[in-house]
A and B are shown apart, each in its own frame.
Chain A
Amino acid sequence: MHEMAIAQSICDILEENWKKEGKRKISKVSLEIGSLSGVQKDCLIFWLENMSKNTFLEGAKIEIKEIPIKIKCGDCGKESVVNDVFFQCPFCQSGKVDIIGGRELNIESFEIED
């Protein structure tokens, strides 16, 4: 979903930070992409690599951490990782769950050359 626009947003955010850090070369970018974010990892990498050509970001390694869906049960209180969108607590089978992880779409960190 909109990987190109998301790649653009990532570049914009990194450019702002790159300037704050005295325009030192960014060597690596770490992203967190949740399973429920709707973002396709390979597609995002494709667009990021394309957009970073001939820019401050060219050559930066792109690392993507895929975050699984995590739920917390409203009945038994236990937390668990699930991979089905029909959310159900695996401990007590309750459907009253809150999603506490898996919707992330973050730039977690970046590395600059010293």
Chain B
Amino acid sequence: MKIKIVKRILSANDEIAEQNKILFKENNVFVINVMGCPGSGKTTLLEKTIPFFKDRLNLAVIEADIATTRDAQRIRKLGVEVVQLHTGGACHIDANMLRNCVNALDLKRLDLLFIENVGNLVCPAEFALGESVSIVVLSLSEGDDKPRKYPLIFLRSELLIINKIDLSPYVDCSIKKLKEDAKRVNHKIEVIELSCRTGDGLDKWYEWLNQRIKEVL
């Protein structure tokens, strides 16, 4: 006898992600999931972003890593609340891990929550968390073939930040190709080119984030 169920295998994660989303909405918290390769500049981006927003909004950061507290320590120096999530070897955060982290935060008091996902272009793309928006950070030194190689993370993200544009004269990576290819995978993806190191382009990122936050809060 055949029994048809058509059950999503990752439904357990999706259900918790949906619960997370409702919780964030009820408490008026804008949640941004920051993904990217190790070394793409995710933590540095947060270091440059937090000072711009922290006087106007109540911020917190969830730092996800397989090991060490280095990134959390860097963010803590900025005087904002940080929750360190050690994934126990997992290469991504899932909705359940996020839910457990969120229990440590006072959501009623929070306006803006950054989630710095584990450095990985593959796995974070697969796991819904309940975030307001997902972005992917790519640096020029990683090469311009990443959209074709890792389409799922580009499909998942609303924004691609191309970081380290100051390296442009020194690497064989075409910003133009990177932008075009990202849009060929996800025609809706927006792209901002910047350098966390020189500050070039950061204002466009602040403006983008500001606008998205205003739409939700």
Contact = CB atoms under 8 A, between A and B. Distances in A.
Contact of B9 (A87, A107, A111): A107
Interface residues of A, number: 31
Contact of A111 (B1, B12, B126): B1
Contact of B4 (A88, A108, A113): A108
B151 interface: yes
Contacts, number: 75
A85 B125 CA distance: 15
Interface of B: 1-12, 122-123, 125-126, 147-148, 151-152, 155, 181, 183-185, 187
B185 A86 contact: yes
Interface string A73-114: 000000000000111100000011101000001111111111
Nearest to A107: B7
Contact of B12 (A2, A9, A17, A21): A9
A114 B184 CA distance: 50
A28 B148 CA distance: 36
Interface of A: 1-2, 6, 9-10, 12-13, 17, 21, 31-32, 36, 38, 85-88, 95-97, 99, 105-114
Contacts of B122: 1, 38
A96 B187 contact: yes
Contact of A106 (B6, B123, B125, B126): B6
